[in-house]
Structure 1
Amino acid sequence: MNIVEKQLGELQDQPVYSYTLTNHQGMSVTCLNYGCIITDIQTPDREGRIESVVLGFDEWEDYLKWSPYFGAVVGRVAGRIKNAQFELDGNVHYIEKNEGENHLHGGHQGFSHKIWATNPFKEKDEIGIRFAYTSPDGEAGYPGNLYMEVEYRLNDENEFIISYKGTSDKKTIVNLTNHSYFNLHGKLKKDISNHRLFLNSDRFLALNEQLLSTGEIIDVSETVFDFQNGRMINEGFTRGNPQNVIVGYGYDHPFIFKENEEKKAILFCEESGRKLAIETDQPGVILYTSNQLEGDYLIRGVKPCRYLGVCLETQRLHQLDLPSIILDRDQEYRAKTKYKFSVVNSLNGDN
């Protein structure tokens, strides 16, 4: 296994580096110290062709110009916060507005826009990168000096593991996720309409016109939100369910994993044979099918369009306080998600 480090340029007098982790199976993950952005994941298909399976830019400067959060770690709090404010111990904290009157993914200069300190490492069975960043008290309006570490690990089982941990010197709120867009066709040959998805979830949260949770929990039974036995993602693009329509004919919804069961999602592309299995210690996942993806830029030569990728953002569901995203002083925040890539013949098939 190997790690290749390369300096790409500078941002505000700080060097910008890329790191490519490659295992003995030919799988590789490339990331930046800017935003912990995963710029590329290369995995084989059933014919042995190794191709990119995530959306990203060829030039790192494009991540400064455009903000679809491709591959980035987002925080302090992932998702939307209504009216860009929250209350702690009777005190209202006003945070940055960056989506109308609301706060999204940590604000204009959230974790996805920071240079992180890096420490590449090699162990017996794994290689990886440790990222570290201290968010100062008051950044984007959040209280507390928050020290965060994010760790990327790759092994020879084609497992890519993301771990998060952090502590604050004041009571604050924290909820991180990675915002990678997956497309298992490889090289963006097609969109993700014919990907098949399994989610171990029987409930999801309804959204309003601002894409904020209404607080209503909906049973997935007999709806296109029922992925418990696996279903084609494009069924949510065409069936006309009001919740699909409200987000732009697709999905942008929080799903609640079943309690006391293995929390996982499985994404499968029959044409390529690629399968992505996700395990996490987080209580939920945001399913986003890039319904809003547009702009005057290219993604490795491909124009952005709806359904070009699918995000599976594992996280705490702060809309329901599941569990609470409040982090007490000196309490440790932790989260972990594993992504396993393989080649199979069906959604439930083995390697």
Structure 2
Amino acid sequence: MKLNKKFLVIPIVLGMSLALVNCKNDTKKEDTPVVEEMAEASIIKSNFGMFQDSIPVEKYALVNANGMEVDVITYGGIITSLKAPSQDSTFQDVVLGFDSLEEYVEGSPYFGAIIGRYGNRIAKGEFKLDGETYTLPVNDGDNSLHGGTAGFDKVVWNAEEVKDGDNVGLKLTYLSPDGDMGYPGNLETTVTYTLQADNTLMVKYEATTDKPTVVNLTQHTYFNLSGNFDNTILDTEVMINADQYLPVDAGLIPTGELKSVAGTTFDFNKPKKIGAEINAEDDQLKKGLGYDHCWILNGTGGEMKLAATALDPESGRFMEIMSTEPAIQFYTGNFLDGTLTQKDGEGTYAYRSGFCLETQHYPDSPNQADFPSTVLKPGEKYETTTSFKFSVQD
């Protein structure tokens, strides 16, 4: 999901100057042939630059025995690269991003980032909790988006390597202090990425607080399963396991209605090309300038369930998303406009060259009593899990 405007550069921290060392990421867009199976999974640590001239940012490459690789930086917990196999046994990077820390800091539309404290929009930048009104920074028209002007995507996380047999991972932790971006409570947050032997990337979110607060964490990777960022994502076949979605108003805030997808352009219960109906004469599509809406996933009780799938027909790359979350935001790169440079520096990210499938709770839940609660209280633990499994279909 992206801002409801052409392009936005968000300040990092108010009142603080920015100085960066530009550190290039060696990941390129070219194919990486599979020569032989690796002896074992590994974690490779390297430098990725300096944030605010004093905070080192590290990159961790998680590599499994099959050759699949997921690169994560400590700034924003950003997934900068994800190399997945194709039908002809080559690995290509399938996520949008940048080569340098400077580009992420100065102009990223949340590429690959951890989103918090609250993913998606909160209307008019305020909510009430236990009789008290909390005011948040507005950074999307009249609304607060993705935690405000300096959310979890714009901080440096602490990192700990995790290795368990054939699985390799990275445990990221961050303390968001009481009052951070207007939210109450000291929020201790942990996000753990685990790359498994079967080419599944597990993402586990955990949080605790010392005051009642609201929490809605998600992951904002933009995918292009073709492995060629010059391609649009319109031929990608997507399935969303949902019978209902949330219509929105002009500010992309849910109206409160849960609407059936049956007979609408929002029905993805069977795999359908993203571009099949994206330009249809539909009032909701016009408001989002395409798909930028939240679907209510089938299944209840917080169990791990199928959320969505995506297939690139040409390469055969197939992604299957499972989650304990009740909803998923589907965003189709409607605001990418060719102003951002690709990782190899030879092209730009054009209109609809990436899509997001963000598992989460409903947008604006703190202001809508009929939506599932996102309140977290002292003594409770916020805990959700989402997995992304990569395979090949003939």
Asked if these proteins are the same fold (TM beyond 0.5), I'd say yes
Of 211, 221, 224 in structure 2, the residue corresponding to residue 170 of structure 1 is: 211
Q: Which residue of 2 aligns with 1:5?
A: 45
1:146-172 Cα shifts (integer Å, max 9, x gaps): 000000000110000000101000000
Query: What aligned pairs does 1:1-351 form with structure 2 within 5 A after superposition?
Result: 1-12=41-52, 13-248=54-289, 250-260=290-300, 262-294=305-337, 296-300=339-343, 301-319=346-364, 322-345=371-394
CA 1:184–1:38 in structure 2 vs 1: closer, same or farther (change >3 Å)?
A: same
Gaps of 5+ in 1: 346-351
**Amino acid paired to 2:95:** V
Contact 2:207 2:383 in 1 (8 A): yes
**Amino acid paired to 1:280:** S
**Amino acid paired to 1:344:** Q
**Which stretch of structure 1 is more off in the superposition, 296-305 or 239-248?**
296-305
**Which stretch of structure 1 is more off in the superposition, 124-133 or 318-327?**
318-327
Contact 2:121 2:363 in 1 (8 A): no
Deviation at 1:41, TM superposition (A): 0.2
**Which stretch of structure 1 is more off in the superposition, 111-120 or 223-232?**
223-232
1:236 and 1:308 map into 2 onto residues whose CA distance is: 17
SS of the equivalent of 2:284 reads: helix
Q: Which residue of 2 aligns with 1:349?
A: none
Q: Which residue of 2 aligns with 1:348?
A: none
2:43 and 2:329 map into 1 onto residues whose CA distance is: 31
1:72 and 1:322 map into 2 onto residues whose CA distance is: 25
Deviation at 1:54, TM superposition (A): 0.6
Deviation at 1:189, TM superposition (A): 3.9
Deviation at 1:322, TM superposition (A): 4.5
Contact 1:318 1:325 in 2 (8 A): no
**Amino acid paired to 1:2:** S
CA 1:148–1:74 in structure 2 vs 1: closer, same or farther (change >3 Å)?
A: same
Contact 2:265 2:278 in 1 (8 A): no
- Higher relative contact order, structure no. (Cα contacts within 8 Å, ≥ 6 residues apart): 2
Deviation at 1:208, TM superposition (A): 1.4
Deviation at 1:318, TM superposition (A): 4.3
1:128-181 Cα shifts (integer Å, max 9, x gaps): 000000000001100000000000000110000000101000000000000001
Contact 2:235 2:274 in 1 (8 A): yes
1:52-90 Cα shifts (integer Å, max 9, x gaps): 111010112100111300000011000011110000011
**Amino acid paired to 1:285:** I
SS of the equivalent of 1:265 reads: strand
TM-score when scaled to structure 2? 0.85
Contact 2:141 2:251 in 1 (8 A): no
1:263 and 1:297 map into 2 onto residues whose CA distance is: 33
Deviation at 1:319, TM superposition (A): 3.9
CA 1:20–1:219 in structure 2 vs 1: closer, same or farther (change >3 Å)?
A: same
1:215 and 1:79 map into 2 onto residues whose CA distance is: 15
Contact 2:230 2:349 in 1 (8 A): no
Contact 2:249 2:287 in 1 (8 A): yes
Which one has the bigger strand percentage? 1
The count of corresponding residues between Structure 1 and Structure 2 is: 344
Deviation at 1:308, TM superposition (A): 0.7
SS of the equivalent of 1:243 reads: helix
Deviation at 1:43, TM superposition (A): 0.9
Deviation at 1:334, TM superposition (A): 0.6
